[in-house]
Amino acid sequence: MSISITDSVGRGGKNRKADTRKIQRALNQVTGGAALAVDGDCGPKTISRIETFQRGFMARPDGRVDPGGRSLRRLNQMLDAAPVKKARKKTVKSAAKKSVKKSTAKKTAKGAVKKSAAKSAPKKTGKSAAKKTARKTAAKKTVKKAAAKSAPKKSAAKSATAAATAAAKASARAAVKSSVKKTAKKAVKKSAGKAVKKAAKKSAAAKRRVITISASVGRDGKNLESDVRLVQEALNEVIPQKPLKVDGKIGAKTIAKIEQFQSGFMQKPDGRIDPGGKSIKRLSGSAPAMQGAWKGDSSRWSEAKKLDSLDKDLRKKVERVLDNLKGEGFKPKIVYAWRSVEVQRQLVAQGHSKVRFSFHNAQYKNGRPRAYAADIIDRRWAWSDAAMDNGFWAALGRIAKAEGLFWGGDWRSFKDWAHVQAHPNSRLAEIRRQSGVA
């Protein structure tokens, strides 16, 4: 159902309470996520939800809805397309009223019938009623006595025989059940032994964390930041006493921790972990799987975790893009690196994306993120007009393309100014197959 407002709502608007409530209700109906409080207060959450809604059809969301403006028209279009909840409520209420009316009518009719019957029935005198009651009681007693006399008595011998037969049958059934259970248990133990062992092995393998590094970590290693972080996290899980700071920097404490770990299976620990080496295999076999480590709202992850979720080659390029943007005076921030397929489909439903699987959703077969795309904004301006006016989008596109990346600002049908990706769109189906995502 379409709505109308008297003044602007959102950033820089007049924000009348009645208008704000209308917009809050409408946004709750057409957008996902946690519901806004319909309190008429246009705070940061309401403005942020307006911007989120506008990203589906505006390159530069301004966080405001004006009377007769583009945002209000789009909002009304979506409201008209959505199911009308109020109509349902009215239908339910009217049905309830009809039901009440019917039941009232039935009660009224029953009451009328009873009254009519009472009026038409002849009144009995006290004496005649008492005589009839006495006759009925005497008749019942006579019937009971006659029935008792006529019923055949069972002989004691027949009762004993029946009881003995029933006991024998019950004993036989119990013996058969016990024998069947014992036989079944033995068969299960013999046949299931191997299956149980295999299941136990699979379960143990599932609980182990698979750790892959691209270069050596530790003494005299290459010590790439992402590899060092992985090793630090795994060492903290295996040796929880005095945990390392997971900062991606190799130092004396990290090397000492590696040597402490290696002392359990090496005579001469070397303080270094190499790809495919004995130490990384042992570390993978010892560290528990990171249950839930890559779950939740990935837009709220730390910058370091977002970078870890990127493909290792893309990560290097994105890090250089961020450094170059900072060098030009901007304040870049990654909004999304990897994100789940579920979140991707929510964005499609909200009109913020056109594809149900994107380069953001790529992953290894074991489920570890391997995103081939990142969304980068300036933390001061986000998607507002100021980002364009201050040259941030142009700088992002120029620097990203210099690194060999593809920029969403070059797309014709759907301008995605913050988006950079490692591959052309023609490779999306191939990446989806590699990710094992249906």
The string of DSSP codes covering 418-433 is TEEESS-GGGHHHHHH
DSSP state of 63: S
Do the beta carbons of residue 22 and residue 5 sit within 8 Å? Answer: yes
21 torsion bin: left (phi>0), alpha (psi -120 to 50), beta (else): alpha
Residue 25: other Cβ atoms inside 10 A? 14
Neighbouring C-beta atoms of residue 357, cutoff 10 Å: 18
Complete domains list, the chain, with CATH: 9-81 (1.10.101), 217-286 (1.10.101), 298-435 (3.30.1380.10)
CA dihedral (165, 171, 173, 176) in degrees, to 10, reads -140
Per-residue pLDDT reduced to its tens digit, 383-430: 999 999 999 999 999 999 999 999 999 998 888 999 999 999 999 999
pTM of the model as a whole: 0.40
Question: Which tokens belong to 306?
Answer: 């977002």
The pLDDT averaged over each successive group of 10 residues in the chain (438 residues) is 90 92 91 86 91 85 91 87 50 52 56 51 49 62 55 50 68 67 66 58 52 90 91 85 88 94 87 93 68 74 92 95 97 94 84 85 86 96 94 97 96 91 94 81
pLDDT in tens, 172-220: 677 666 666 676 666 656 665 666 556 555 554 444 556 889 899 999 9
Distance CA 340, CA 325 (A): 27
Q: What is the mean pLDDT of the chain?
A: 80
* Coil, helix or strand at residue 419: strand
Q: Which two tokens stand for residue 232?
A: 């630090």
